[in-house]
Amino acid sequence: MKQIGDLVSWFHGKEKALVALSGGVDSSLVAYAAQKALDKQAIAVTADYKTLSQEELESAKRVCQEIGISHIVIEYNELDNPDFVKNDQNRCYHCRTELSEHLLELSKKEKIDLIVDGTNLDDLTEYRPGIVALKKNGVQSPLVESGFTKADVRNVARAIGLSIHDKPSNSCLASRIPWGNTVTAEKLERIEKSEIMVKQLFGVRQVRVRDFGNSASIEVDKNEINMLDDEKKMDILKKYMNGLKFYELKIDPNGYRPGKLNVITD
C-alpha cells in the first residue's frame, strides 16, 4: 500500500525518533511507521498527566506491545499548572506547551533530535491551539507531511491490521468541562467514572459526560442514542451519578460532536 510506504519512507534518513503516543489511532500509526523504519531507534512516549483517562493509558501500552516499539510513560500533574486549571480557551495550548517541555527534556536524555506526533490534515481545519504549541516547540507531524486525512489513517491502520483502527476518538478528561469553569481532580474523577458506567451499562463505544456542576449532559454517537432507552439501566445510571453529585442528567439528542464545549461560560 503506497500510503503506508510513504509514511515509513518519511522516517528514512532519520537516526532516531521520539513518538508522542496518546493511545489513539493517529499516533499509533505514526509509531508503527517509525518502528518499521527505525526499529529500536524509535521510542514511543505517553504522558500520564492526570487528565488522561486510565482507559487511554492502557490503550497506549497495549498498542506499543502490538507494534513492538519501546515505550516510556512520563508522569506529571497538569493540575499543578494554574494556566491549565483556569480552563480558558487556551487550555490546550498550555497543556501542549507543558507536554512539549517534558518531551524536549526526554529527547535530550535519550539523545534524540526528532519528536513527532499524530496530527493529521483534518486536525488543521479545527480550533486546535495545542497543535500551535507543539509546532512552536519543534514537534513534527509525519501524517500531515505525508498527506493523511483522518479517513486515510483509519483505512491504512485497518489494512495493516492495527487492532485499534476503529477505536473512537478521545481527548483529555478536562475537555468535558466548559471553558471558564475550573478544572479539579474531583471533577475529572467523577467524569471518568460516569463515562465508564455508561459504557458498561449500555454498551456504547463513544461517550462524553459533560460536567455542568450539579447537572451532566451525556453524549453518544447519534447511531447509539437509542441504546440509552433502557429505563431500568437508566435508573441505575441516575442513582450512580447522583452519588457522584450529578443530580440532573440529560441525553444530548444531537449526539457527540468534538469541540462542543469550546465556549466560555459564566
Confidence of residue 266 (pLDDT cuts 50, 70, 90): very low
Exposed, middle or buried, 211 (CB in 10 Å: 0-12/13-18/19+)?
Answer: buried
pLDDT at site 262: 52
pLDDT at site 265: 38
Q: Are 115 and 247 in contact (CB under 8 A)?
A: no
Q: Quick: pLDDT tens for 128-140.
A: 899 999 999 999 9
User: Which CATH number among 3.30.70.2190, 3.40.50.620, 2.170.150.70, 3.20.20.140 corresponds to the domain 2-160?
Assistant: 3.40.50.620
Mean pLDDT, the chain, integer: 94
**Distance from chain centroid for Cα 34:** 20
pLDDT at site 126: 85
Q: Quick: pLDDT tens for 170-184.
A: 889 999 999 999 999
In CATH, what number does 174-251 get? 3.30.300
pLDDT at site 62: 96
205-231 mean pLDDT: 96
Residue 258 reports pLDDT greater than 80: no
Residue 264 reports pLDDT greater than 50: no
Q: Indicate the pairing of strand 70-75 with strand 42-48.
A: parallel
Residue 76 reports pLDDT greater than 50: yes
pLDDT at site 260: 56
CA distances 198 to 24, 54, 66, 235, 253, Å, are: 20, 16, 28, 12, 16
Domain boundaries, the chain: 2-160, 174-251
Confidence of residue 88 (pLDDT cuts 50, 70, 90): very high
Residues 130 and 1: their CA atoms lie apart, in Å, by 31
